[in-house]
Structure 1
């Protein structure tokens, strides 16, 4: 659709991430198809409410999915079309508080011991540094400080930078991984190819792809086309590599919990709090804006009912 291409250009002009762009365009397309390809300017509040109600009542989508769909349509009308929707008589479903899944230290060790290769290294950083999977895969060589044992996370959630811990136990394979990444960059540079870069940066510094600081720590095994500039480059590894390796590792470890890449970030925070570290320190390492978001881990570790004894254990037997 030419219309959606124009919307895509609008989002890129405003600096939206590729992931947000993809999600928003998906829900805009779904909205238009739901109403038999009517143009958005011919529709309004009633059609929007009908679509969102369909998602919630008939499709039973999660609350977060409803929010993304609503945000996409709000961008379409209020930002792109400059149409004021007013106060729609639609309220999102209420999301109940869900406690994150957390592994014990022994369980983390069991899972990691079942992994090999890149998946082993990446999961070590997810747990050892409290990283999101996307943050870990986007690490470039300039973001690693082996002397201070720190990692700089660039453009994290909400486009924020932060610093977090670099586990000393990762140091032996990190130096080897850096050397391997630099070897790949040297081979790529020989054919005038390098790591994928932000379009504005590559225009300002045409030879930046030759600088070691921009190389990914976990480079992809294949070359690809940049999604915006269409320039041949080498991106970082895909998230699916870790997910595919994680599932059999968890099964082999005999852990009856739903374990995802994000589980190791939850475990990182919980284990730091259990070790007695200040909650604000943990908040800073995780990059949370609101302390209330970090406080969920005190519920996971049982701090809110510390010292309470079950009445069953008080029964005289």
Structure 2
């Protein structure tokens, strides 16, 4: 493919900017320009002749390019001609030396005799090929992807990824399937992925994290289901990543929110703040996670399947023991009605058949009602659902009228920020939070006032 000289690329980009083309789209315009010049060279056409454009668009259409891409390519070529005819850009410059690689040298490469004749021949050939190409393309669309999803789920479960990861990857795969109109997986290409990621950024305007999740999902799909690799992906419009500073509550604000809550939700929020827990970690505690003699709470299978320990807050020990007594009474009542036990992870139940009914495996925050499973007629106990906790917190926040965006994760942010404010070192906080990289923990340095440098003030306060 023709490589555009840097001087010309810069000149063309400046012209695009003058014509109102946003900078994020300029790389695409340059890409279409290279394709166009390469096409003209291959079919012995003159790039400056307008008859070459229809043949080029027919070629793109035969490659199953999307309508908005065809429009973008057409605009890129029209702007090239406009720049060529502009005295402001071209002027009356003299033709450079023969071996110089510039705008005029490109013209010399693609200029041939009998241009009109060659254009007509190329256009006719393209029109003859196009119907068969379109027919073939349509033939490979509307294919059943159920086998793809089956293999994707099996692959994720085999690697013991979380259910959230499975749900996320399946969701983005469905979006991708819709975008390519259920094309036969055998004919799905990296170009489809590029177009999909660019579509998410430009049309759907998703966040950078959502686009990265989609990229990871499709990368996993290609490697583990389609058995192919992306290679290097260039020319994708990436969603702009915005620096995020978490919302943190003061100790007084936390007390105000808690005053509008009742147990067990109040105790759960206090535990999340007191130990820096994620909501998924808090709701899934079992009896054996609490070691009151040592004052240690063990989190099993946290984010990334990592385990960690945190100290149990002294102020909560009495109420946590009361909750443990309540769990014991619920368990005794369940045993009397002959329930089938709690849900266990993975294949633990197959290995330990009596474990679901043993006390140590009971949920620390059990659901109010038993769950009836239609498939086998069993009655099982599940933990409090996270949406129940979120709704209770939302009601309390509404009553508290605190002018901050507060979620359950805000209390985890507050835990880290208050420890940092109390001069705990960043490595200790990293271990308590369960972060793999200290750079993730470093974001909390933006939530507390610095003690080592002069505090920033407004000139109005001088």
User: TM range, normalised to the smaller chain?
Assistant: over 0.9
Alignment partner of 1:150 is 2:296 = yes
Instruction: Find the aligned partners of 1:230 and 1:43 in 2 and give their Cα distance.
Output: 43
2:214 is matched with which residue?
69
In the superposition, relative to structure 1, how do residues 205 and 311 fare at CA in structure 2: closer, same or farther (>3 Å)?
A: closer
Q: Which of structures 1 and 2 has the larger relative contact order (alpha carbons within 8 angstroms, sep 6+)?
A: 1
Corresponding residue to 2:186 among 33, 41, 54: 41
SS at structure 2 position matched to 1:157: coil
- Cα distance, 1:309 vs. partner? 5.1
Which one of the candidate residues 252, 258, 265 is aligned to 1:106?
Answer: 252
Structure 1 position 295 matched with structure 2 position 442? yes
Q: What do residues 62-102 of structure 1 show as CA deviations (whole Å, max 9, x unaligned)? A: 11111111111111111222112211223633412111000
Q: Is the 8 A contact 1:141 1:215 kept in 2?
A: yes
Distance 2:433 2:332 in 1: 34
1:254 maps onto 2:401 in alignment:
yes
Q: Secondary structure at the match of 2:347?
A: helix
Q: What secondary structure sits across from 2:309 in the alignment?
A: strand
Q: How many pairs are equivalent?
A: 315
Aligned partners of 2:449 and 2:455 also within 8 Å: no
Rounded Cα–Cα distance in structure 1 between residues aligned with 2:252 and 2:315: 17
Residue segments in structure 2 that go unaligned for 5+ positions in a row: 1-144
| Match of residue 307 from structure 1 | 454
Paired position in structure 1 for 2:362: 215
- Secondary structure of 1:221 counterpart: strand
Per the TM alignment, residue 35 of structure 1 is displaced from its structure 2 partner at its CA by: 1.7
Bigger Cα displacement from structure 2, 273-282 vs 229-238: 229-238
Task: Give the corresponding residue for 1:2.
Answer: 146
| 1:181–1:94 CA distance, 2 compared to 1 (3 A) | same
Q: What is the CA–CA distance in structure 2 between the aligned matches of 1:59 and 1:250, rounded to whole Å?
A: 31
Partner of 1:58: 203
Cα offset for 1:156? Answer: 0.9
CA displacement at 1:30 relative to structure 2: 1.4
Q: TM-score, normalised by structure 2?
A: 0.64
Matched, 1:285 2:432: yes
Q: Residues 272 and 411 of structure 2 are in contact (CA less than 8 Å); yes or no, is this contact kept in structure 1?
A: yes
CA RMSD of aligned residues (A): 2.3
Question: Alpha-carbon deviations, 1:236-282, whole Å to 9, x = none?
Answer: 11111121111221122120000010100010111111112222211
TM-score, normalised relative to structure 1 = 0.92
Partner SS, residue 435 of structure 2: coil
Summarize the Cα distance change of 1:203–1:231 in structure 2 as closer, same or farther, 3 Å threshold: farther
Return the alpha-carbon distance in structure 2 between the equivalents of residues 230 and 84 of structure 1: 45
The 2-side partners of 1:12 and 1:238 are apart by 22
Greater radius of gyration (CA): 2
Q: Is 1:268 aligned to 2:415, yes or no?
A: yes
Does residue 1:97 correspond to 2:243, yes or no?
A: yes
